[in-house]
C-alpha cells in the first residue's frame, strides 16, 4: 500500500490535511488554467484565487509568493508527465521497437497540443524575468529527462546507459523545438509527421539495441 502521511494523525487533523491537500490541488489547476487563458502578462495571484474560488488570503496561506506557486505548477507538470509515461509503459503490449516508436510519436504530438504549448511558452517568458521560475523550469528538464532514462532502463535493463541518455536528451531537444516550430503553425514546408519519422530514424542510430524502426537511410528519402 502507498504511504499515507496523514494515516497516523488524529481524525480531525487528518480531515484538515485532506482538505488542505484538495485546496492545493485546486490552486495548482487554477494556476495552470490562468497561464493558458491569460498568459504570463495576465498571470496574477488575484486571478488564480478567483479561478480557484478561494480568497486571496487563503491562496497566500498556501503559496506566499507567485514564484512559489509557479514552482508548484512546474512540480505538478513533472508528476503528471511521469504518471502518463509510466502508464504508457505499463499498458503497452507492443514489441520494444514499436513501443518506443509509439512513445516518440506521443511525446512529440503532445508537445504541440494547445495546453502543453501555451503553458511551456508562458513559463519560458516568465523564466526570463523571474529567477525562481527560471531555476524551477531548468530543473524540470533535468528531472524529466532523468525520469525517462530511469523508466526506459527499467524496461530495457541491457540498454547502453550512454545511448539511453543521448537518445532522451535528443528527444527532449526535438520535443521543445516542436513547440516553437509547430505549436502555433502546424502547416510548414516540412510536415510534422515527417519530423516525427526523422526523429525516430535518428534515435534508432543513437540506441540501435532498442530496435527502433528506421535507419540513417531515411534521410535520403524526399520530403
Neighbours of 79 (CB within 10 A): 11
CATH of the domain at 54: 1.10.10.60
CB-based contacts of 219, cutoff 8 Å, min separation 6: 198, 201
Distances (CA, A) of 160 to 121, 149, 164: 33, 11, 6
What is the Cα–Cα distance from 16 to 10, expressed in whole angstroms?
Answer: 10
Domain membership of residue 10 as a residue range: 1-64
**Angle, helix 131-155 to helix 114-127, in steps of 10 degrees:** 130
What is the Cα–Cα distance from 87 to 84, expressed in whole angstroms?
Answer: 5
Q: 81 and 191 share a domain?
A: yes
Q: DSSP per residue over 75-105, as a string?
A: HHHHHHHHHHHHHHHHH--S-HHHHHHHHHH
Q: 86 and 135 share a domain?
A: yes
Can you give the pLDDT of all 223 residues of the chain as single tens digits?
343 444 443 443 333 445 578 899 999 999 999 999 999 889 999 999 999 999 999 999 999 998 899 889 988 988 888 788 777 666 656 566 677 788 888 889 999 999 899 999 998 988 888 888 888 888 888 888 888 888 778 777 888 888 889 888 999 999 999 999 999 998 999 999 999 999 998 888 887 777 765 443 333 333 3
pLDDT on residue 95: 60
Domain count across the chain: 2
Give alpha helix (H) positions in 129-208.
Answer: 131-155, 161-182, 192-206
Q: 86 and 159 share a domain?
A: yes
pLDDT on residue 204: 83
Spacing of C-alpha 194 from chain mean position:
23
First CA to last CA across the chain, in angstroms?
52
| Exposed/middle/buried for residue 190 (C-beta within 10 Å: 0-12, 13-18, 19+) | exposed
Q: Could you tell me if 28 and 3 are in contact, meaning their C-beta atoms sit under 8 angstroms apart?
A: no
pLDDT on residue 223: 34
CATH of the domain at 113: 1.10.357
Q: 174 and 110 share a domain?
A: yes
Q: 40 and 88 share a domain?
A: no
pTM above 0.95? Answer: no
> Considering 64, 85, 112, which residue would you say is the last residue of a domain?
64
> Considering 28, 44, 64, which residue would you say is the last residue of a domain?
64
Q: 181 and 124 share a domain?
A: yes
b/e map 7-31, b = 16+ CB within 10 Å: eeeeeeeeeeeeeeeebeeebbebb
> Considering 46, 64, 82, which residue would you say is the last residue of a domain?
64
Q: 110 and 208 share a domain?
A: yes
Q: 111 and 55 share a domain?
A: no
Q: Could you tell me if 118 and 184 are in contact, meaning their C-beta atoms sit under 8 angstroms apart?
A: no
Q: 163 and 203 share a domain?
A: yes
Amino acid at each position: 500500500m502507498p504511504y499515507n502521511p496523514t494515516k497516523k494523525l488524529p481524525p480531525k487533523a487528518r480531515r484538515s490535511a485532506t482538505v488542505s491537500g484538495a485546496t492545493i490541488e485546486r490552486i495548482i489547476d487554477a494556476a495552470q488554467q490562468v497561464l493558458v487563458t491569460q498568459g504570463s502578462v495576465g498571470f496574477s495571484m488575484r486571478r488564480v484565487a478567483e479561478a480557484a474560488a478561494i480568497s486571496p488570503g487563503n491562496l497566500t496561506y498556501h503559496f506566499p509568493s507567485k514564484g512559489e506557486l509557479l514552482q508548484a505548477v512546474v512540480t505538478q507538470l513533472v508528476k503528471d508527465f511521469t504518471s502518463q509515461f509510466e502508464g504508457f509503459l505499463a499498458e503497452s503490449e507492443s514489441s520494444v521497437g514499436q513501443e518506443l516508436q509509439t512513445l516518440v510519436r506521443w511525446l512529440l504530438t503532445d508537445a504541440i497540443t494547445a495546453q502543453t504549448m501555451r503553458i511551456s511558452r508562458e513559463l519560458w517568458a516568465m523564466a526570463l524575468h523571474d529567477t525562481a521560475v527560471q531555476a524551477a523550469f531548468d530543473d524540470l528538464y533535468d528531472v524529466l529527462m532523468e525520469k525517462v532514462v530511469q523508466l526506459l532502463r527499467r524496461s530495457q535493463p541491457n540498454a547502453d546507459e550512454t545511448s539511453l541518455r543521448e537518445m532522451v536528451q535528443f528527444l527532449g531537444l526535438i520535443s521543445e523545438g516542436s513547440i516553437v516550430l509547430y505549436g502555433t503553425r502546424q502547416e510548414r514546408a516540412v510536415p510534422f509527421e515527417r519530423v516525427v519519422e526523422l526523429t525516430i530514424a535518428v534515435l534508432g542510430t543513437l540506441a540501435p539495441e532498442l530496435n527502433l524502426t528506421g535507419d540513417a537511410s531515411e534521410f535520403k528519402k524526399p520530403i
